[in-house]
Structures are given as C-alpha cells and as structure tokens.
Amino acid sequence: MNNISFSVNSMIKISLNKDFSEAMSTQIILYNVKKCSLDLTKLDSDGYSRLVDSIISDYIKINPLGDSNTSLKKRELLSGIETTN
C-alpha cells in the first residue's frame, strides 16, 4: 500500500468516522472512489485530491456538520496528502 492509499485508510476514514459510522465511512470512500474512477492501490496526489473534492461535495449535499464550514473539513482531509510528500 502506497503512502497516499494509507492516507485514505487513515486520514479520510478517521475524519469520516467523526461524523458517520465506520460502515458508512467505508461506503462513502468506496462510492467516491468508484464515482471518480480511481484505483486505491495506485492512487496519486491528483487522485487523492479528486477523491477529497468528491467527498466534500457529498458533505455539502448531506450536511452532517449542520452550519459548520465544509472548507475546514476539506483542509483536514487534504492534510493527508501533505503528510505523504
């Protein structure tokens, strides 16, 4: 597993678990991986960014954060790519 794929399984999953159940977090990741036509085993930084954008788009639609700022959530998720560089 490359470092970026590790970020998906750690950073994104942990962040999603704050707002959703473990099973729902997994489903959100898998749904968005498929929606973006990504391969988690060969994910690069561009793919990671596309995945985060897609997940944030879902956050805006679902809005589990209430009135919270989704840009903060996006920054949190994108920090996973920064730690792998």
Q: What is the pLDDT along the chain (85 residues), one digit of tens a residue?
A: 566 666 677 788 888 898 888 999 999 999 999 999 999 888 888 999 999 999 988 877 776 556 567 778 888 888 877 655 5
Task: Name residues whose C-beta falls within 8 Å of residue 55's C-beta, 6 or more positions apart in sequence.
Answer: 12, 16, 28, 29, 32, 77
Read out DSSP for 2-26? -HHHHHIIIIIHHHHHTTS-HHHHH
